A and B are shown apart, each in its own frame.
Chain A
Amino acid sequence: MSVQDKMTSFFDKLAPTINKLGNNIYLRSISNTMMGTIGPLMVGSIAVLFLAFPIQGVKDAIAAIGLTPILAAVNSITIGGLALYVVFLMAKNLVSMLLPNEDGTLIGALALMSFLIITPLGALEGGGNAIPTQWLGASGVFSAFIVAIISAKIYELFVKKHITIKMPDSVPSVVTKSFDSLLPAFAIGIVFIIIRLIFQNTSFGNLHQFIYSLIQTPLQGLGTSLPATLVFGTVAQLLWFFGIHGTNVINPLVQPLRLALDAENMAALAAGQALPHIIGNAFWSINTWGATTLGLILLMLRSKSSQYREMGKIALVPGILGITEPLVFGLPLVFNFSFFFPYIFNNVIIILLSYFLTSIGIIARCSGVQCIFGLPLGFHAMVGGHWTIVVWQIISQLVISPVLWYPWFKMAEKKKVQEENEAANLVA
């Protein structure tokens, strides 16, 4: 059995696990929740952009018209309020998957309520209450997920076990329905009141602190470290090699961790402080853009093989937009052992180089603003917030990437041209 056959049969054994991971409703809900937060995050990013505008004159003008405190407030309730959007969306998404006939909006509201029940309320000097923003942002993201999951599961229990209040037939169904939705609301509310009571009597003070210290901080440290990022980068590409959308399968596991780091970077930027993190979701997106395939497309456009040239032409425009499928399935890169090494490891090499150049200060740290998929090379990296990041994306994809592909490409091309010549001879 050759190495290639061994790898393929190993993957076949692994496939059911990957299928389970890819179809897991919790992971899929997490992934789509993070996607759903992009709207508020983008609005917040614009606020941060103006708060930290690099030109002093513009900053002064913003302050002069009284916009600065408004922008700061927008920042606190968008990026600083990330957990609020997460708890609503997660409960809604999860219920819509657990119970296919429900859209989950009501349970989203209940999860938000639960989240606020366990959040300590503060008294303002001079009267009035206020919710401290401490747990509403990045530090509350994990408790938001957990609160949303508990709320959704309680709701599911009520629906699946048909726990409802019996009403006489003469009561209109609209009324019955609204009463039915009240039962889980009470149950969820009571559960979280009890949770708050319990944690109030521990040294943690509240559930947020407990989850943050015991789950979020260790996971974040592990999951977003450089070695972990390299491992995830390799695994995602391995999945792609076997034809599976690796990013889609891996992302829900690490994206919330990375997004929380990005939120911290944005908060620091808004406050005029140094950015604390190199690795975040934006760093990941900018450096794994297109899995370096554009470099291979460029080589193919000038290939001696007519098939490669044709393929290069088909793949070019999607490639510039970061869409890799034409090349991945058309060349293909999937199951193609001639390109195994560069396809799996180029991303990781780019990540390593980028990390190194950022840590010595040649490339700026990413602002934490999220990239929009589908924007052309370079434009995609603009959200990084610094020209060095844009230049890096262009250089890494147009210069470094072709170099990394070149030796493997030359070998594959030689074989291809030979095949083409033989085919031509047969026809002649």
Chain B
Amino acid sequence: MKHIVLICAGGFSANIMGSLIRKAMEKHEFDGDLKAMSEWNFQNYRDPVDVLLLGPQLSYMYDKLKEKYKGTHVKVGMIAMTDYGRMDAEHVFESILEMLNE
């Protein structure tokens, strides 16, 4: 069971994107769940995380979060702008799989 967390600035666009990725995960019978939230709420999030995805508008936080999880099992990634904009959940799902297989 893998735990994916998707964050954006206010949690709104991440929510839209997140529900689409969840559908893709179901379709591929992926063993895991996805939660979408704002970056601030993630700050106090204590549940397990395997993959942390950032919306592209949070690019300014990417380096910091990458550094924070260095040496842990948590993979940090940023969703590509076009994937995020076109809400291409399939493609994001593929990159989640890639990140987990790294």
Contact = CB atoms under 8 A, between A and B. Distances in A.
A244 B12 contact: no
Contact of B60 (A22, A32, A329): A22
Contacts of B84: 325-326, 329-330
A367 to B, nearest CB: 23
A331 B60 contact: no
B81 A334 contact: yes
A97 B43 contact: yes
Dominant secondary structure of chain A at its interface with chain B = helix
Contacts of A321: 12
A325 B85 contact: yes
5 contacts: A32-B40, A323-B16, A329-B82, A334-B81, A373-B12
A35 B11 CA distance: 13
B12 A326 contact: no
A337 to B, nearest CB: 15
A374 B44 contact: no
B81 A329 contact: yes
A35 to B, nearest CB: 8
A232 to B, nearest CB: 17
Contacts of A330: 82, 84-87
Given A245-B9, A318-B16, A323-B13, A331 B57 contact: no
B interface SS class: helix
A328 B82 CA distance: 9
B57 A244 contact: yes
B61 interface: yes
A23 B64 contact: yes
Contact of A326 (B8, B43, B86): B86
Contacts of B82: 329-330, 332
Contacts of A35: 40
A296 interface: no
Closest A-B pairs by Cβ, 10 of them: A330-B85, A329-B85, A325-B13, A245-B57, A22-B60, A329-B81, A245-B9, A19-B60, A248-B9, A330-B86
A394 B81 CA distance: 29
Q: How extensive is the interface on chain B, given as a class?
A: 20 to 34
B61 A22 contact: yes
Contacts of B100: none
B60 A326 contact: no
B56 interface: yes
Contact of A373 (B10, B16, B55, B87): B10
Interface string B11-32: 0110010000000000000000
B87 A18 contact: no
Given A323-B12, A331-B85, 10 more contacts: A23-B64, A96-B43, A240-B57, A245-B9, A247-B9, A248-B9, A249-B60, A325-B84, A326-B85, A328-B57
Nearest to B16: A318
A18 B59 CA distance: 10
A347 B93 CA distance: 35
Nearest to B12: A323
A315 to B, nearest CB: 8
A238 interface: no
B61 A23 contact: yes
Contact of B56 (A318, A327, A329, A331): A329
A243 B12 contact: no
Contacts of B44: 96, 103
B58 A245 contact: yes
Contacts of B47: none
